Amino acid sequence: MFLNIPLLSFIIWLPIIIGCLMLIFNNDKKKFIAKNFSLITSIFSLYLCYLLYLEFKPGLWEMQLLENKAWISNLGIFYTLGIDGISMPLIILTCLMTFIVIIFSYNSINKYVNQYNAYFLIMQGLVCGVFASLDSILFYVFFESMLIPMFLIIGIWGGVNRIYATIKFFIYTFLGSVFFLISLIYLHYVLYFNSGEITFSILKFQSIYLSISQQKILFWGMLFAFAIKVPMWPVHTWLPDAHVEAPTGGSIILAAITLKVGGYGIIRFLLPIVPDGCLIFSDIIIILSFIAIVYIGLVAIVQQDIKKLIAYSSISHMGFVTLGCFLVFSFNFNSEYFREAIIGVEGAMMQMISHGFVSGAMFLCVGILYNRLHTKLIAKYGGVAHKMPVFASLFMIFIMANSGLPGTSGFVGELLIILTAFKVNYLYAFFAGLTLILGATYNLWMYKRVIFGKIINSDIFKLTDVIWHEKYPLFLLAFLIILFGIWPAPLLDLIHPSIEHLVYQIMQSKVF
């Protein structure tokens, strides 16, 4: 029915254009127009996502809904869009989380409302562009442009130390991505000298033959960009700062979406383009992932600030994503373990989507508390359950999902990855399993101190329970978390064919 409309372009450009238009109007007197307008745009984007879901044919690994136009024709750069089972759920996640952020901002943002909503809409379009682009330069342009709205969101609406945090965030990410750019140009020339083809297409890059030494260089060049975005252990320090200073909406988008761009980049670029490089360095990455899971988990326990705690728990959970991706290489290209390898990568994918819901919901909860009490310190809370029972019970669901309790979506990804880890090495499985204990420790301990106990701080008495624009996003997220926790099949079916093809691609050496 809608086959003639370039649906992906619509999803990308509609929010960007509307966002840019909204930037022109700088009038805080007509806040409600801005709010309603952005809400309508966001609902319309969700409707477009629904159409996307209908158009998408599950069971195929090929790229679908392709769009291809000349962009910089002399240099072989095309405006190529397309989605497969890996990118489709992430696009829907992006639109959904932006919708939630815009609803939540209804009462919580009071200055420069137009700009706030506009930047989120622009951000949404750009992130969808990242997930949908099949040309590496197009990917890079979206990947970098994404920094600007986030930079402004943290800088304008952030906390006390926002300027330090936002500049650190920007420069860290920019540093990583320039190496990625060099790697892309290098790949372009390798392809040109091999086959004489002038192209920047990601799919062409995936099928190109590379020598071991080339793969080693490219591995680090590309990993650096995505490791900072994910973020992996030694380069994670921008994340807690950015999260603590960002406004609630910024934190939600940062945790739920931008971190996924890193994971998506690893799956889309790193694994299929340089499998031998990944094989050589997979042990290092797996060790770094374990450091992220265990050490950062321990760091999370001792945090005084709720947001910082969730930020560290994000790093710990994203460690699972990198672990799931790189466990594949422990099978040494042995096709007997094909099935386990698929399970590992699927686990990483599930973990990403589930973490999108869970971390978004957790930051939303912190935002709700912060709007009332204007503090994020755990010690200032206690006994919130007496005053906010609905909130407390919803928060409990997210806490459980964050610690990976069976029945929530957090469990599915972790289980799949731990299963694969068992096939590789019992020790790996043991370390991976530690997360269940550590996660439960920091989550439940924080929950206990914030929600239960006696009311010590007199401000707590004044708390009121969640109102509609806080309640419905939370209900929606809780529903999704439980839905995918007990019935992950629809999601797994969606991503399975693409992952299977991907693993088939990465389970063979590319050296000729």
Partner 1 sequence: MYTGLIVMLPEIIISVMACFILILDLFISKAKKNIIYYLSQITILSVIFISFYLITTPRCTLFYGAFVSDFYSVLFKFIIAIGGFCIFLYSKEYLKYIDLFKGEYFVLCLLSILGMMIMVSSGTFLTLYLGLELLSLPLYSLIIMNKSAVSSEASMKYFIMGSIASGIFLFGVSLVYGMTGTIDFKLINQIIINEEVFSNITLQYGLAFIIAGLVFKFGAVPFHMWVPDVYEGSPITITMFIGTIPKIAALGMAYRLIIDTFSVLNTELEFLFITIGTISLFLGNIFALSQINIKRLLGYSAIAHVGFIFCGLAASDVSDFGPITFYVSIYILSSLGAFAIIIALSSKEKEANLITDLNGLGLSYPVMGIMMMLFLLSLAGIPPTAGFFAKFFVIKSLISYGFFELALFVVLMSVIASYYYLKIIKTMFFEQIYTNIKINGMSKLGLCFILINGGLILFIGIFPDMFLKICSIP
Residues near partner 1 (CB under 8 A) are 23-24, 26, 70-75, 112, 115, 137, 140-141, 144-145, 147-148, 151-152, 155-156, 162-163, 166-167, 170-171, 174-175, 178-179, 181-182, 185-186, 188-189
Q: Of 115 and 330, which CB lies nearer to partner 1 in the complex structure?
A: 115
Q: How far is the CB of 361 from partner 1 (least distance, A)?
A: 28
Rg (CA), the chain: 22
Minimum gap (Å) between residue 232 Cβ and partner 1: 19
Helices (H), 196-247: 202-206, 212-229, 238-245
H helix or E strand, kind and range, residue 66: strand 64-72
Nearer of residues 161 and 508 to partner 1, judged by Cβ: 161
Least distance CB 163 / partner 1 (angstroms): 5
| Angle at CA of residue 366, ends 437 and 491, nearest 5° | 60
Return all residues near 356 (Cβ < 8 A) that are at least 6 apart.
93, 97, 255, 256, 257, 260
C-beta of 143: minimal distance to partner 1 in Å?
A: 9
In DSSP terms, which residues pair with 80 in a beta bridge? 68
Q: Is residue 215 within 8 Å of 118, Cβ to Cβ?
A: no
Contact 123, 386 (CB under 8 A): no
Q: What residues pair up with 133 in beta bridges, in sequence order? A: 81
- Residue 166: CB minimum distance to partner 1, A: 7
| Cβ neighbourhood burial of 47 (10 Å; 0-12, 13-18, 19+) | exposed
Give 170 or 290: the residue with its C-beta nearer to partner 1.
170
Give helix then strand counts, H and E, for the chain: 23, 2
Nearer to partner 1, 171 or 511 (CB): 171
- State the minimum distance, in angstroms, from the CB of residue 174 to partner 1: 5
Cβ at position 432, least distance to partner 1 in Å: 35
At 272 the three-state DSSP class reads helix
Q: Look-up: residue for tokens 């999902």? A: 401
CB of 207 to partner 1, least distance (A): 21
DSSP secondary structure of 380-431? G---HHHH-HHHHHHHHHHHHHHTT-TTSHHHHHHHHHHHHHHHH-HHHHHH
Cα 73 from chain centroid (whole Å) = 32
Give the residue with the Cβ less far from partner 1, 148 or 415.
148
- Residue (89 or 221) nearer to partner 1, CB: 221
- For partner 1, which is the closer residue by CB, 108 or 145? 145
CB of 373 to partner 1, least distance (A): 24
**Which is nearer to partner 1, 198 or 287 (by Cβ)?**
198
When the beta carbons of 146 and 362 are compared against partner 1, the nearer one is: 146
